[in-house]
Chains A and B, each alone.
Chain A
């Protein structure tokens, strides 16, 4: 069985190589077939691994080889498979396969489809490496790999300058987090002398008491990396702009997998975080703040994909909240269900966008529910799961688990934030569906919508729909023994909370239905003048973080750069280059091409050698 484990990432790598070495000679169909098949085979290998794991749930470690071995530094290319990485692996390859398949429909007729699939396969390769690596170095390699693919795919339509800038922004903002992560790794290696995760987690409690400053710092640095990758406050600004990429990319990278890498990192290193209770609490608080901030921002968006982007941030906020409450398994469970229903929502959004001739502004859509029944069904099922409609949806079970764990751990504040967030979620979800599918069509693009055809369009949507219902919640991640057991609490309180949460979700839906169906005019008036308009604008721009960063960081940076352009200090550094160049010119003079000079230099050298030997004696 151990050969299956490397196959899960080698197959996508083979796909990437095949596609990129084809020199563009492959047609659209062949590219899509290779790209999808490689992930499909990887998913098959994963399925076999899951079957094997369910039979004998043991941690497997496959050390392929030691990269270099010098002294203490012996980074291995080792893979570790346990319940946690298996869950992630299943999500990456399973959901990844569906999205690759859907992309074959979505990307029809686009130029550079080979490039698209080459990047997508490279992404799957890096992401699998990230979750399977048994040491932080390999994890970091995958971490940077997915960042690169994210950059490449956001900027996929590179002919539009704005897309290039969006890709830049995503890359640079996540890089800020990555720097923290890298420093965290250096710190861990210096203190513990290893980067192997198992050894690390074994040595950490021996070396550090709970709450020791060093371990708090290390955990804080890792958290910094997680915040950047998972688009949490304050490093969240890149995700909404990242929607410039093709929609399948948003579904795979910016909803289902890459952005949850931060959650994975913290869950993987949870023993370290348990030693740093302050940082763990901070994680929860950041999650709570993000889920609220992003929830409000999602209320005031007009672009379908941006609504979904803010909703993703908000849902990952829930996962961080769960991590902060010490409910690691609830976070991973929500990660899984979220991957299903958010991928479904994004793919349905993709179906709408393509059907409506690349119109994604909700103000120009509407009245689509008859014309695009499958996309509509996808939105309804996915939206229900997102809003955690009681009992029938997957989202209900995972979100309920998070709220219950927050209560059981005694984090009242986090619980309240979670409930408010759930209320907001219901409102913006229903708003999204009503604006997109109901009312009358508001533009020609919407009036002439053509429903998608074919298996590549239908199958992924239907499979994800099934997974977004309570059936998806039956897939319990095999996390026992990997993550700490959930908190126990009285069953009575649990039931009470379930009822409250259900009421909140339903209340949100009712309010949204009332607002967006009955009181539409009043709402439009309120948001177009006075305080309402200001609030709208504020939320529309997601609390103005972009402006603040622009004024506070980007512009001063540009100004500094500008001021330093003709700077003396810079001249000092330029001096090095000039000196190197001068030395080069001076030395080039020795290359006379004259044989007698060459001979002379040899004699000179030999004389020096003899002199040194005579003197050193």
Chain B
């Protein structure tokens, strides 16, 4: 029974996926498909309360502990937001619409597996279950050249990354003969040993690709730009959260990852990601690409917590993740809503947003709040997250990283403000690519408004998140 309860979210999401598939086979109907998906995801979210009662719960393959529940909440909430946004987005799509939710649910199931994995098998399985549907989602508008390109690029590069990951696992196995995290920990001992260390490095490459850390970041803008809005949203939120959680688990538990060299690599990756991500975004004229570059930088910031990996590191990473997810969903949500009228060619070019305020004041307010939060302005969620990272870096004396963070933020402020200014410019006679007029009453509009409110609320009243993050229990194998 405990098994069932502990895995209930996963079971529910998978069952919903099956239900959606059967529904499609029986009769296509967009609204009811969305409804099924949303209900299923909400039930999964609710079931986490029950899971909380039985946590921590461990088997050889999965560890359902505080961290896993935390990750599951973020994954499910992101997926819910994506499903709602997809509803608005696919409304005017001429091809088949319902399969998107099937893919979305499968990917969410992958994310759920990943956040609780404590075995190389579940790690691999979860990662692939997360990535495979994403290829389909990214190439969903397959008659559209860019969307197809995004799907293919992600497919090929992701396959390459998986190869590195598998090779890394094989090396670790060669050293220890074990694949579960506890066994790896015991087998590698202090320092890790040559093969184990090389394995850790290669696993890092594989996960670094998913997090689009420099120098594995090149795919990010192309894929973000080409993929349909909801797919890019999922890629930026749920997919990255799940991978960060798994990386966090590895860094905290596995001695191979505690090695000086690995820490130095992590530090270099963080530093490079912060600076290069921000620099690349500097004069970007496409909002989706810009958000892609900005996400590179943000995971650079987040990596500081993993580099330090002691004291408040888990709390910091968790707080930052929540703030990042809420903000990113808001920003991508607006982009998705603005481009939802016409799926051919997403309205992401910055000039589409000129003077948006004068046509869609609420939507612009949401985007403004999200951008302010990404820039880390006080009284937004982003500030709290960044504040924690800085405090952690200062406490641990990682001055280089803190310096990089500050320089990166300064550069970031430039391009976030550039976008904000564009939103408020008066531009007579430009009326293209608007959100539908009744967007505010629709589910998608409600979602982005709620997210914006949440960004401000968490900026002023972050206590619940901080307390939650501080109480995260990590099951030690």
A contact residues vs B (CB 8 Å cutoff): 23, 65-71, 77, 580-581, 583-584, 587-588, 590-591, 593, 595, 597-599, 601-602, 604-606, 608-610, 612-613, 615-617
Which residue on A lies nearest to B470, using beta carbons? A69
Q: CB-CB < 8 A to A613: which residues of B?
A: 197-198, 200-201, 259, 261-262, 265
Are B283 and A602 in contact (CB-based, < 8 A)? no
Are B215 and A587 in contact (CB-based, < 8 A)? no
Across the A-B interface, give the 4 residue pairs with the lowest CB-CB distance, nearest first. Answer: A616-B261, A605-B215, A70-B391, A584-B282
Q: CB-CB < 8 A to A65: which residues of B?
A: 461, 463
Complex alpha-carbon distance, A77 and B209, angstroms? 41
Which of A68, A605, A608, A616 contacts B466, CB < 8 Å? A68
Complex alpha-carbon distance, A610 and B262, angstroms? 10
Which residue on B lies nearest to A596, using beta carbons? B156
Complex alpha-carbon distance, A595 and B460, angstroms? 44
| Smallest beta-carbon distance B212→chain A, Å | 11
Which of B25-33, B157-165, B177-185 is the contact stretch?
B157-165
Are B221 and A591 in contact (CB-based, < 8 A)? yes
Known contacts A613-B265, A616-B261; is A584 also within 8 Å of B280 by CB? yes
Q: B216 interface residue, CB < 8 Å from A?
A: yes
Which residue on B lies nearest to A610, using beta carbons? B201
List residues of B (391-408) whose CB comes within 8 Å of A's CBs.
Answer: 391, 395
Complex alpha-carbon distance, A612 and B194, angstroms? 12
Which residue on A lies nearest to B167, using beta carbons? A606
Known contacts A68-B462, A610-B201; is A580 also within 8 Å of B279 by CB? yes
Which residue on A lies nearest to B463, using beta carbons? A65
Secondary structure class of chain B's binding surface, majority of residues: helix
Q: B384 interface residue, CB < 8 Å from A?
A: yes
Which residue on B lies nearest to A597, using beta carbons? B218
| Smallest beta-carbon distance B390→chain A, Å | 9
Q: B219 interface residue, CB < 8 Å from A?
A: yes
Chain B interface residue count, CB cutoff 8 Å, equals 47
- Please, could you name 24 A-B residue pairs with CB atoms under 8 Å apart, sorted by A? A23-B361, A65-B461, A66-B463, A68-B387, A68-B462, A70-B387, A70-B391, A581-B283, A588-B280, A590-B218, A591-B280, A598-B218, A599-B156, A602-B157, A602-B160, A602-B209, A606-B164, A606-B201, A610-B202, A613-B200, A613-B259, A613-B261, A616-B261, A617-B197
Are B205 and A599 in contact (CB-based, < 8 A)? no
List residues of B (404-435) whose CB comes within 8 Å of A's CBs.
Answer: 411
Q: CB-CB < 8 A to B157: which residues of A?
A: 595, 598-599, 602
Interface digits, B196-230 against A, CB 8 Å rule (1 contact, 0 not)?
01101110110011000001101101100000000
Q: CB-CB < 8 A to B194: which residues of A?
A: 617
Q: B4 interface residue, CB < 8 Å from A?
A: no
Q: B107 interface residue, CB < 8 Å from A?
A: no
Are B387 and A616 in contact (CB-based, < 8 A)? no
Complex alpha-carbon distance, A578 and B25, angstroms? 59
Known contacts A584-B279, A599-B160, A609-B265; is A68 also within 8 Å of B388 by CB? yes
Are A70 and B388 in contact (CB-based, < 8 A)? yes
Complex alpha-carbon distance, A604 and B153, angstroms? 18
Q: B1 interface residue, CB < 8 Å from A?
A: no
Complex alpha-carbon distance, A70 and B384, angstroms? 11
Are A610 and B198 in contact (CB-based, < 8 A)? yes
Complex alpha-carbon distance, A40 and B252, angstroms? 55
Are A609 and B388 in contact (CB-based, < 8 A)? no
Are B261 and A606 in contact (CB-based, < 8 A)? no
Are A605 and B205 in contact (CB-based, < 8 A)? yes
Q: CB-CB < 8 A to B264: which residues of A?
A: 612, 616
Are B282 and A591 in contact (CB-based, < 8 A)? no
Q: B369 interface residue, CB < 8 Å from A?
A: no
Complex alpha-carbon distance, A602 and B205, angstroms? 8
